[in-house]
Chain A
Amino acid sequence: DAMVIQNPRYQVTQFGKPVTLSCSQTLNHNVMYWYQQKSSQAPKLLFHYYDKDFNNEADTPDNFQSRRPNTSFCFLDIRSPGLGDAAMYLCATSRDGGSKSPLHFGNGTRLTVT
């Protein structure tokens, strides 16, 4: 079954300790997105890749980085997690980024910072 898979479902890290969240897809979609969703808030787009082209949102903190080594995988690196970075992180894909190719979300990784 073609899917967007995020690992792990739950991640605990210590304040200031780098952490990497992973996302893989079997849909062969060109575009991959990372959203941050804090409790009772809207999912907020952090950045997206159109193929290998990286697109950062203007208000995404420098503490967040991303890598897309190939079509199937995309990683979210948080260099120095703070307590305010605790959230659900959602990965999504789109065939071509246009409105006629809807977002396919993963189940998310819930990050806890202690």
Chain B
Amino acid sequence: GENVEQHPSTLSVQEGDSAVIKCTYSDSASNYFPWYKQELGKRPQLIIDIRSNVGEKKDQRIAVTLNKTAKHFSLHITETQPEDSAVYFCAASRDGNNRLAFGKGNQVVVIP
């Protein structure tokens, strides 16, 4: 089955700086790659996703890039704010469905 790995496990950034989280996947047939954000004590929520037919997608301060050849995708957060502090999970699935294989999550800490 699909194996998704995230690096680094913990990332600390100064407020206003950028944060980048990378994920790799193993199944070349995977074609859907969402990112979920989980704030402390709250439920995971979808923040952005990308499909294999595009290489980059942006939504205000967040963006996701996909490199299908290398089988990795990254989450970019610009102008980080304290409310960006959370655990971020990447995931992958094939056939464009929501049977997701998740990574272990990255703890992002934004230092005011």
- A interface list, Cβ under 8 A from B: 4, 31, 33, 35, 40-45, 48, 58, 90, 94, 97-99, 101-103, 105-108
| B98 contacts A102, C-beta separation under 8 Å | yes
| A31 contacts B4, C-beta separation under 8 Å | no
| A42 contacts B4, C-beta separation under 8 Å | yes
Residues in chain B near residue A98, CB distance under 8 A: 96-98
Partner of B46, one of A44, A102, A108: A102
Number of chain B residues close to chain A: CB under 8 A: 24
Known contacts A90-B44, A99-B93, A102-B46, A42 near B98 by CB under 8 Å: no
Expressed in whole angstroms, the Cα–Cα distance for A103 and B101 within the complex equals 13
- What would 9 A/B residue contacts be, using CB atoms closer than 8 Å? A42-B105, A43-B89, A97-B97, A97-B98, A102-B49, A103-B36, A103-B44, A105-B43, A105-B44
| A42 contacts B102, C-beta separation under 8 Å | yes
> CB of B61 within 8 A of chain A?
no
> CB of B51 within 8 A of chain A?
yes
> CB of B13 within 8 A of chain A?
no
